[in-house]
Amino acid sequence: MKRVLTLLLALAVTVAVAPSASAAYPAPGRVTGDIGVHDPSAVKRSDGSYLIAHTGNGIALKTSTDRTAFRNAGAAFPGGTPWANAYTANSRNLWAPDISHRNGQYWMYYSASTFGSNRSAIFLATSPSGNSGTWTNRGLVIESRTSDDFNAIDPDLVVDDQGRWWLSFGSFWSGIKMIALNPSTGLRSDSTIRAIAGRNGGAIEAPNIVKRGNYYYLFVSFDRCCQGAASTYRVMVGRSTSVAGPYVDRNGTALNSGGGTEVLAGQGSIHGPGHQDVLADSDGDVLIYHYYADNGASLLGVNLLAIDSGGWPYVH
């Protein structure tokens, strides 16, 4: 019966033209083992296994051979990150990594900050294997100061159809920004900061951009994170034919003007799902995220993700 209900829910989302905020979403897929995560990012390795990096001391790592059973794999930086000391009260407590595999190595952008402050920085590290202790600091990518109108956290790398590298990032303040990167170094290639989404100072963060078909899809998290079962995080999306935007939602409202189409929100004992990452896998796209249980624990969420006939993502 549970399987039947799940299939019916997936079908309902598939045929819906515009799911409302109150529509029922499927529950997170089954995961086991060490599934305590926050701000996860995932990559599939050449041997078919999975590596997740997430917020934690020295950037925490998890691995899985089947995308179901996960185990602790240590930290990217078990010896700490003294180069980040100027931005965080605890140099081992680093946030919101973005991990990918390109050009024969693993790339990881990650944040250093303190809660509620925009005195923040994004750094880059690379590794030949992705394993704990193998990561090399490649330097500061971008920083923000208290006088800036943006916050340099929550990085996300995207490579466009022309092979150009871009980093989106941002949290609260004036919203989500984007900078161009040098593909050879992974560091900035110019001084321009582009605005791609905002809520007039409201709660928006955690960008993730993927190209599917004719569109680049910008996923973001609206509302409040990090309050346990009281969290109101939800996953929103907009799309554009250009990686730098303008992005619009299903109704045509620009994401730079507060727009966004809801993809996933809390329901029942699933609270504040967000800080999403789209992983391309052999069975389709997978939405990786965290959510809060009734007891306030932050847990790994996994759902399949597809595009409906109108060109909009939905979870199933």
Q: Of the listed 156, 205, 223, 277, which one is catalytic?
A: 205
Give the integer Cα–Cα distance in Å for 5 and 270: 17
Instruction: Dihedral sign for Cα 79, 131, 290, 168, please.
Output: positive
Looking at this protein, which amino acid is placed at residue 297? A
Burial of 10 (0-12, 13-18, 19+ CB in 10 A): middle
Q: Is 130 annotated as a binding residue?
A: no
User: Residue 220 pairs with which residues in a beta bridge?
Assistant: 236
153 is in an annotated binding site: yes
Give the contacts of 88 (CB within 8 A, at least 6 positions apart).
94, 112, 113, 114
Known catalytic residue at 262: no
151 is in an annotated binding site: yes
Query: Residue 235: which of 211, 266, 265 has the closest Cα?
Result: 265
- Is 147 within any annotated ligand binding site? no
Q: Tell me: is residue 171 an annotated ligand-binding position.
A: yes
On whether 148 is known to bind a ligand per the annotation, the reply is no
Integer Cα distance of 80 and 123 in angstroms: 14
* Separation CA 192–CA 209 (nearest Å): 19
Closest listed residue to residue 219, CA positions, set 200, 247, 246, 183:
247
Active site includes 143? no
Binding-site annotation, residues for substrate: 39, 116, 151-154, 171-173
Annotated binding site: 39, 116, 151-154, 171-173
- The catalytic site residues sit at 39, 205
